[in-house]
Structure 1
Amino acid sequence: MTFPNSAESLESLEEYEDVTSWINDTLTASGSIQNNESLSELDQQITQLLASLDIACEDTSSQLERTIADVSRGIPRLTYDLHFIKDNALSLQTSLATVHARSRAAIPDSTASALEQLKRLDTMKTHMEAAREVLREAESWSTMEVEVTSMLAERSYAKAAFRLSEANKSMIVFQNTPEYDPRRTLLVNLQNQLEASLSSALVAAINEQNLEACRSYFYIFSNIQRELEFRNYYYGSRRASLTSMWHEADLSDTALEEKTSGQKFSEFLPKFYASVLALLNQERSSIPAIFPDPAHTLSAFISSIFSALQPTFSQRLTSLSSHYADLALKELLANFKITEEFAVAVAKIMEKIQYSTIAPSLSEIPNSANHTDPSTPTPPSHSRKRSMRMSISFRSGANRSVSSGQKIPSLADGLDWDQELFHPFLEFQVDYGSLERRLLDHALREIVSIDTRQKVSCSDQARIFRERAVDVFGAAEESLVRYSAFTHGFGSMSLLQALDGFLKSFVDMWTADVSFASSGPQSTLQNAGSEDLSGLDYTSQDWSNIQSMLHLLSAARSVFEQMTSFEVKLRSSLAQTASKFRLHRGDPSSFPIASSKGSEQILEQSSLNSADLHALLDRVDLDPSHSREIHLRSQGVSSIAGEPLLVDARSAMFELAKACQTSLQNTILSPLRQQLASYASSPIWVTTAVDSRNTAFNDLQVPTFSLSPSETIQRVTEGLLNLPRLFEVYADDDALSFSLQTLPFADPELLKSVADPSVSEVSSVPTHSRRQSIAKVATLDPETVSTAWLSSLGQSLLAYLTTDILPRINQLNAGGAAQLASDLGYLSNVIRVINVESEELQQWKEYVELDDDAGKAELYGTNDEEGVLRHVAHMRGWK
């Protein structure tokens, strides 16, 4: 292996911005390393390179020191040199003044007098020539009206135009004089007469496609500063058939009044565009033969076609949107795609016309002085020069592009013909979110109307929910195509909001119907006797409700999995849009956003191109630096990093789960709540603990020990102790494990240990830990799920007891207080068996056990106005 020349390698270092690239290129300069070469050769290369760098560093340091020394020696002398130059300049100035004085003194007086006389004569000659020109202009203006009128009578239009052009040039002579306004008025009147004389012949020449005559007329109009009027004549005549076709179209969906006959706008538009393309292909040959700027002229012609349509394109689209109402987006999208296809075809025509030049050679144009035929008038010389310059620029530009092998620098980049074409769609593109939501809501109504949900049995609710979810997510997936096609990704934020609201509406409909009618087939467990579940005397309807809620919870779990899978598709689609936007920012010409540059520019300047849009795209952009994520996906491990996209829809799913859980809990606890319903009105609260005959003097109460809990509390505790047996029946049902965080009174400590994706998504854990499997929501340990549910059921029952039941006790004497304390203590001990503790229950027990003196002291020592102590004080009469 040979090592490259050290001097050449060091010189090449200046060409590199990255030192690492230079090292790699230098080490491999002698050729690629073979697989069987040892690392010792590479080490030798590196050693030689290090030695060369050390020597070069020493040489550079020496040269730098010498340079610094030279500069240090030269700076003191620099001041002296500057002072010397200043003295020499002052000396030169004095010498020049002396020479000038001597030269004036050397000229004799007679010679100086002669020179002054010559100067005065030259000034007089100049002024006289200027006066002569003014007089000639005045004489010319005095006869101009007669001359031009006679030329028009003789149909010498080219001569008349040339005469008016020369007169227009002389207008500057009369600037700021009283003669200016009358002469300007006369000039304009004569130009109007010439235009009027030519108008009919011009329209006839345009209709007959007499290109030579049209070209001559164009230069005549240019000479009299009426080029714009000529273009208006030309555009109006050539587009007449198209505007008539548009105006006379018999349409059924864009008419001001409802019509049953006629074709749809989406059927008419391709025919109209085909006619436009046919005309443009004709003009691709005609316009270069008439105008010096074919590309810009054709662009203006296209714009004039669409601006002259009546009713306007925007009005037709507005009528279309009103006609189709909620389905308007589909029709608008269909017409938008047709328009994009038309724009692509027009772009090809515009690209071809860039190679066009003025067809006839300028040398073939006859002399204007010898021809009076209106079909062959000659353009003035300044117009010919402008045409020559335009033609040369076209040819040279095309040749440079072709020879270099690069993309042709299209003149169409500066044209705006497609602005007029796509601008009517902008209003609807900006309103895309609303249009998409209306379309999705219409699809939802269609999906829901398949069945009469009010008449569906309870057992069918879960099945129908799953089936309708398939249709709903199918409709949602269709929107992923629409937002890209209609807004080219600029409607990403609107799409996300529409989908989020749409899915939320779907889920909310089922959440509102969780408390549906309880009619339906009975469960197989309906005959379970109270002996098996003592204290839980469920009716057959209760068992049916439990089964229905479990099925609906299972369906909610399944729909949540579908939502998670759809969110992956949504994120992937948005990531593709983000990648397209990122590439476009780096190289707009190679990575366009839309098929038409005009459509792209309109969207970029619209309100859709917001900071929120780019923040969303940055959030979902799969940057290549995320190598770990890409590696995981390649291994079949799919994950979603970061915040969820469908925030409201997910929240709605959790609300549905919460509603199902609450309904299920209400059914499970209904026998126990029924037992507690009459607990507050029980007579035991005012019954003395012992007979009055056994009391001492002054009605002294004898304490009673080891009171048994009341019958109500015993039956309630029996039911609580049998709840674990109830959950054994549903141990294999994973519906209970879904959305544990929404359980009423869910234990936060228990949830921390649960690896439930739905929990982590709504908790405040770091973003990097909020990752979930998209294939299936994880199935948890049945024992953990039962523990969470039992804890929630116990807390719900205690909350019912302490919030709704105990505060309704009106009076509580000492015996009743002892009984209540015994009940609460017994309940507290039993409830701990299912891992439930209640601070409020302990407060009730603690305050109920207080005697009158201690209770009053405690009461007046606290500021709690609505707490447990106030309720107990009211019952005991401490206030």
Structure 2
Amino acid sequence: MPLSPPKAWAMCILPSLIYVELVEKFLPFGRLSETSGLVKALAYCADLVGGIWAPPVTLRLLSRYYLKIHIIKSLEQYDDVISWINDVLTPSDADNSPTPLVIDLAELDYQITQLLTTLDIASEDTSVQLERIIDDVSRGVPRLAYDLHFMKDGASTLQNALLGVLQRSKDAVPKETSDALDNLHQLDTIKVRMEASREVLREAESWSTLEHEVTSLILEKSYAKAAERLSEANRSMVVFQNTPEYDPRRTLMVNLQNQLEAALSTALVSAINAQDSASCREYFSIFSIIQRESEFRNYYYGSRRSTILSLWENAPLLDCDHPRTTTAGSLQSFADFLPAFYSNFTAVLNSERTSIASIFPDPIPTLSQFISSTITSLQPTAPQRLDLYIAYHGESALVHLIPALRATEDFAIDVEKIIEKVKYAASPPSRQVGRSAPEKPQAHRRRSSRMSISLRPTHQRLSSSIGVNRALTESPDSMEWDQELFQPFLNFQTDYGSLERRFLDHSLLEIISNDTRDNVSFSDRPRLFRERAVDIFGIAEGSMARCKSFTYGYGSVGLLQALDGFFQSFIDMWTADIQTELYNSASLAKVSASDNELSDLDYTAQDWSSIQLSLHLLASARTVSDRMSIFETKLKAYLSQIAGNFRMSLNDPANFPIAASKGESQLLEQSTLNSAELHALLANVENEGIAREPLFSASLRLQPPVPAVNPDPLLADAKKALSTFAQTCQSSTTKTILSPLRNHLIGYASLPAWRSTIDTSTVTSSSDLRVPTFSLSQTETVQKVAEGLLNLPRLFEVYADDDALAFSLDTLPHIGSETLHNLSEYNLEIPTQQSHRRRSSVFVKPSTIDPEVVSSAWLLSLGHTFLEHLTSDVLPAIPSLTIAGAAQLASDLEYLTNIVRALNVEHDGLEKWKTYVSMDADEGRKTLGESSSDVFDPILDRVAKLRGWRS
């Protein structure tokens, strides 16, 4: 009975699904090495279930299987496991995509699971194969000893057989034949030795006519034949070695070579001056034959560099020559002369490019030696001229050195282009290969290729043509000119920090010298401070560009030290100025309306002026602090850029060089600028940036975990100096605010109440009835002081909107970071999730602090400062205390304690004074006796002396 269509489709699809399930379950757990077995299993499954879908599914599963094998084999090509994982997990089209791909996390998890399964299978398969190999080796080792013994026996047998064959062959030859062969061999040896002796004697005999022949050839101007004759004679010098004839003949050889060189010198110079390449090439071959190649190069270099040396020596320079050497006429600066000098030098090299390539077999090293010899032959030398140049410009020498270095780098770039052209001219194209191609260039090209392979870093994947091109440019001979060119600048580059600091100080001195500070009133100094801060930060921002141009970032440590010291000296100068003039200033300011509202306070117009001036200075300091934070952010960005450049250069030095020239890069890398301190600085800045990035980038590359970094400030000394400036202004404000209260206490220690003998604790009536009194009235001084303390909050209500009070609260007297932290929690009730940012909110953004916190901090500081003066200076000055005087003092201190507690001030010294003064004699002596063996208490000791508790 035929099946209905639904049943027919079910019969077709069901075996296919079973087949897929069987194969997919079998495939991941199969042995990766058992390919044939896997194929048989797939065929068996296909035959078992059948279905029209079996072949496509089989192809798909086989492709997946071989892809896993390819993944496992690719592991051998990687040195880094993380790189292999990244490449395996990256999509196949990621290499053709210009931007990183974002992979879904579910897809990534699936890929990781598949990769782990594949690795487990490969690990298990490898273990099985290793066990199999170990078993084979274990079974084969005992057999190996037997095989070696068998081979030894066979060799011994073969040796005996060979000896027997040799003996039989000798026995087969008659004695007469053997004697004849021995005679022939002896005669042949004698013949060979006699011929060699004849040649040697002939060479020796030629020495008798050597001088005459060479002299005649020189007179006939047959220089090539004379050179060949000398070369032949030189080869026979070995005959006379270790004999008395050696030295005279060696002297004769040198004299004849000198005669030939002298005869050639005039013609050689003429040919060089006439740029006759053919004659120069012929003369070079002659000099090479007589082993005078270096002398030929000296002649050639000396003739071709004469114009360059003359241009350098006779240039009338204004700023780098001694007065006696400067000639009359139009003088020019060294900065204008150097580009023109390099331009002429480049023109000479361009003209020599073809000449050197046609004369010398090694044009690139020859051109390099020509440049090096020219640079070293300059008179005065380049270092001497640069020293004079630096001495002339003095403190601003750095900004004049940078253009000179830039011109030198431009010249080096032009020279590299010329060398590249010479290299292309010396190396024929690779397609011109045939029988007509000369052998020497091919050998030289092969040697260059081998050199490029040896010099190429292992992590760079360059084509063979690039390796050949880079071979000559990276050879020591081709790098010699580069280092000779930049060596004079190296000493100044290593001293960059000092040069930068000198320039910054010089710029600051110019600003100060142009400043009309004497004509500016002291009340305008805050404005002047802000204006000068704008100038110095403008000067400092150019230092990063100077560091990059002059040292390419290697001088970053010196840059930080110079900037930190520069800002510190500027702020310290203003701090000293403020300390000198702030306390001695007699300038008066117009009293504002707010001052009239506080007219009941004991402040003079000068006090109000001092308070306002201090607040204006604090506002200026806050402005400078904000500018310094912005500048420090720019400085971190600059250092991050330098660190990135160094990182790229480390990974790919060919495409991302540090300096404009490879020779300059090597000099800087080998100098003292490349220190551990520099690498630590750049690493800290770079790690700080990495710590803010996610663990996975956009392309889901695995990144190693980086711990959180809490870097130190780059301008630590400058910030400390700014804190000192703020502390100076705050101390001045505190002193002015507390001056009325301190004035009230001037005569407090000498009040007659301290010496009173009347017992104020009881009062005697006319009927001899003693009426006790329960409290004493405070002295008038303490009442005035208490009124002044209670008026302090009103004073800060007037200045509540002034952001200057909120700046640098941690430098207030008797206010620390912990105290300020607790005060912020108490007044603002900051949420728990913001507690980690509380310190930054207090110190970095003072304008966001609640005015109540600011007022509380200032009141707390003022209260502690006043009580410290009271307990340390005023109370110890009391000469003595009677019982009545002690009672009065205890009443005053109790009253002050209640007053300062209203200001949230608690002072340990005040509490001790109040406690010890309130004691009677017995309790005081007991307390004094108990504390004698403990830590010394100066307050108890002083009260004991005042009360007479000591015997």
TM-score, normalised via structure 2 length:
0.79
Does the Cα contact within 8 Å between 2:821 and 2:838 map onto a contact in 1?
no
Structure-2 residue corresponding to 1:546: 611
2:873 corresponds to 1:804: yes
Structure-2 residue corresponding to 1:374: none
Does the Cα contact within 8 Å between 1:429 and 1:487 map onto a contact in 2?
yes
Offset from partner CA, 1:388-419 (integer Å, 9 cap, x none): 84488789999xx9996889325122212121
Offset from partner CA, 1:307-334 (integer Å, 9 cap, x none): 1111111111111111111110011011
Offset from partner CA, 1:667-726 (integer Å, 9 cap, x none): 11111112223322333322323499999xxxxx99975232222222112111111111
- After TM superposition, give the deviation of residue 177 of structure 1 in Å: 2.5
Question: CA 1:69–1:794 in 2, change beyond 3 Å: closer, same or farther?
Answer: same
- After TM superposition, give the deviation of residue 113 of structure 1 in Å: 3.9
Does the Cα contact within 8 Å between 2:755 and 2:885 map onto a contact in 1?
yes
**Equivalent residue for 2:334, pick from 265, 278, 283:** 265
2:897 corresponds to 1:828: yes
**Equivalent residue for 1:711, pick from 780, 783, 798:** 780
2:519 corresponds to 1:448: no
**Equivalent residue for 2:591, pick from 480, 503, 524:** 524
Structure-1 residue corresponding to 2:469: 408
Offset from partner CA, 1:215-246 (integer Å, 9 cap, x none): 11111111111111111111111111111111
Unaligned runs of 5+ in 2: 1-55, 76-83, 429-437, 453-461, 698-707, 765-769, 826-833
Structure-1 residue corresponding to 2:266: 200
Question: CA 1:472–1:65 in 2, change beyond 3 Å: closer, same or farther?
Answer: closer
Question: CA 1:746–1:39 in 2, change beyond 3 Å: closer, same or farther?
Answer: closer
- After TM superposition, give the deviation of residue 449 of structure 1 in Å: 2.8
More divergent stretch after superposition (135-144 vs 119-128): 119-128
More divergent stretch after superposition (833-842 vs 64-73): 64-73
Structure-2 residue corresponding to 1:187: 253
Structure-1 residue corresponding to 2:647: 582
Unaligned runs of 5+ in 1: 360-383, 633-638, 696-700, 757-764
Offset from partner CA, 1:511-563 (integer Å, 9 cap, x none): 1122325244514348846x9475x4111011001000101101111110111
- After TM superposition, give the deviation of residue 26 of structure 1 in Å: 8.9
**Equivalent residue for 2:501, pick from 437, 443, 446:** 437
- After TM superposition, give the deviation of residue 76 of structure 1 in Å: 3.8
Letter in 2 for 1:572: A
- After TM superposition, give the deviation of residue 734 of structure 1 in Å: 1.2
More divergent stretch after superposition (563-572 vs 386-395): 386-395
Structure-2 residue corresponding to 1:570: 635
Alpha-carbon separation, structure 1, partners of 2:640 and 2:299: 50
Letter in 1 for 2:897: S
- After TM superposition, give the deviation of residue 608 of structure 1 in Å: 0.4
Alpha-carbon separation, structure 2, partners of 1:405 and 1:838: 79
Alpha-carbon separation, structure 1, partners of 2:450 and 2:935: 93
- After TM superposition, give the deviation of residue 252 of structure 1 in Å: 0.8
Does the Cα contact within 8 Å between 1:243 and 1:310 map onto a contact in 2?
yes
**Equivalent residue for 1:81, pick from 147, 152, 165:** 147
Structure-1 residue corresponding to 2:370: 301
Structure-1 residue corresponding to 2:74: 16
**Equivalent residue for 1:322, pick from 391, 394, 402:** 391
Alpha-carbon separation, structure 1, partners of 2:107 and 2:183: 94
Alpha-carbon separation, structure 2, partners of 1:832 and 1:559: 36
More divergent stretch after superposition (846-855 vs 708-717): 846-855
Alpha-carbon separation, structure 1, partners of 2:402 and 2:109: 65
2:940 corresponds to 1:873: no
Letter in 1 for 2:542: E
Alpha-carbon separation, structure 2, partners of 1:673 and 1:772: 34
Does the Cα contact within 8 Å between 2:395 and 2:502 map onto a contact in 1?
yes
SS in 2 for 1:825: helix
Alpha-carbon separation, structure 1, partners of 2:866 and 2:122: 86
More divergent stretch after superposition (821-830 vs 722-731): 821-830
Structure-2 residue corresponding to 1:372: none
Question: CA 1:754–1:237 in 2, change beyond 3 Å: closer, same or farther?
Answer: farther
Structure-1 residue corresponding to 2:556: 492
- After TM superposition, give the deviation of residue 812 of structure 1 in Å: 2.9
Question: CA 1:105–1:841 in 2, change beyond 3 Å: closer, same or farther?
Answer: farther
Does the Cα contact within 8 Å between 2:757 and 2:883 map onto a contact in 1?
yes
Structure-2 residue corresponding to 1:461: 525
In the TM superposition, 1:391-430 aligns within 5 A as 408-414=469-475, 415=478, 416-430=480-494
Alpha-carbon separation, structure 1, partners of 2:570 and 2:227: 74
Alpha-carbon separation, structure 2, partners of 1:657 and 1:840: 27
- After TM superposition, give the deviation of residue 106 of structure 1 in Å: 5.1
Letter in 2 for 1:159: K
Alpha-carbon separation, structure 1, partners of 2:492 and 2:107: 68
Does the Cα contact within 8 Å between 1:16 and 1:22 map onto a contact in 2?
no
Alpha-carbon separation, structure 1, partners of 2:866 and 2:784: 14
Structure-1 residue corresponding to 2:753: 684
Letter in 2 for 1:491: G
Alpha-carbon separation, structure 1, partners of 2:117 and 2:547: 62
Alpha-carbon separation, structure 1, partners of 2:677 and 2:180: 84
Does the Cα contact within 8 Å between 1:357 and 1:394 map onto a contact in 2?
no
Alpha-carbon separation, structure 2, partners of 1:245 and 1:533: 82
Alpha-carbon separation, structure 2, partners of 1:863 and 1:403: 86
- After TM superposition, give the deviation of residue 77 of structure 1 in Å: 2.9
- After TM superposition, give the deviation of residue 818 of structure 1 in Å: 2.6
Number of aligned positions between the proteins: 827
- After TM superposition, give the deviation of residue 347 of structure 1 in Å: 1.3
Structure-1 residue corresponding to 2:26: none
**Equivalent residue for 1:752, pick from 821, 826, 843:** 821
Does the Cα contact within 8 Å between 1:843 and 1:868 map onto a contact in 2?
yes
Question: CA 1:506–1:195 in 2, change beyond 3 Å: closer, same or farther?
Answer: same
**Equivalent residue for 2:668, pick from 575, 597, 603:** 603
Structure-1 residue corresponding to 2:726: 657
Alpha-carbon separation, structure 1, partners of 2:797 and 2:110: 75
Question: CA 1:743–1:457 in 2, change beyond 3 Å: closer, same or farther?
Answer: same
2:412 corresponds to 1:343: yes
**Equivalent residue for 1:728, pick from 780, 790, 797:** 797
Question: CA 1:708–1:23 in 2, change beyond 3 Å: closer, same or farther?
Answer: closer
- After TM superposition, give the deviation of residue 819 of structure 1 in Å: 2.5
Letter in 1 for 2:560: L
Offset from partner CA, 1:189-222 (integer Å, 9 cap, x none): 1111111111122111111111111111111111
- After TM superposition, give the deviation of residue 90 of structure 1 in Å: 3.4
Alpha-carbon separation, structure 2, partners of 1:558 and 1:93: 102
**Equivalent residue for 1:247, pick from 313, 316, 335:** 313
Alpha-carbon separation, structure 1, partners of 2:470 and 2:836: 47
2:540 corresponds to 1:479: no
In the TM superposition, 1:721-800 aligns within 5 A as 721-753=790-822, 777-800=846-869
Does the Cα contact within 8 Å between 1:253 and 1:319 map onto a contact in 2?
yes
Alpha-carbon separation, structure 1, partners of 2:222 and 2:762: 145
Does the Cα contact within 8 Å between 1:533 and 1:722 map onto a contact in 2?
no
**Equivalent residue for 1:141, pick from 160, 182, 207:** 207
Structure-2 residue corresponding to 1:761: none
SS in 1 for 2:331: coil
More divergent stretch after superposition (14-23 vs 826-835): 14-23
Structure-2 residue corresponding to 1:369: none
Does the Cα contact within 8 Å between 2:572 and 2:721 map onto a contact in 1?
yes
2:739 corresponds to 1:675: no
SS in 2 for 1:818: helix
More divergent stretch after superposition (701-710 vs 388-397): 388-397
Alpha-carbon separation, structure 2, partners of 1:831 and 1:267: 73
More divergent stretch after superposition (836-845 vs 14-23): 14-23
Letter in 2 for 1:162: E
Structure-2 residue corresponding to 1:840: 909
2:216 corresponds to 1:150: yes
Alpha-carbon separation, structure 1, partners of 2:253 and 2:824: 90
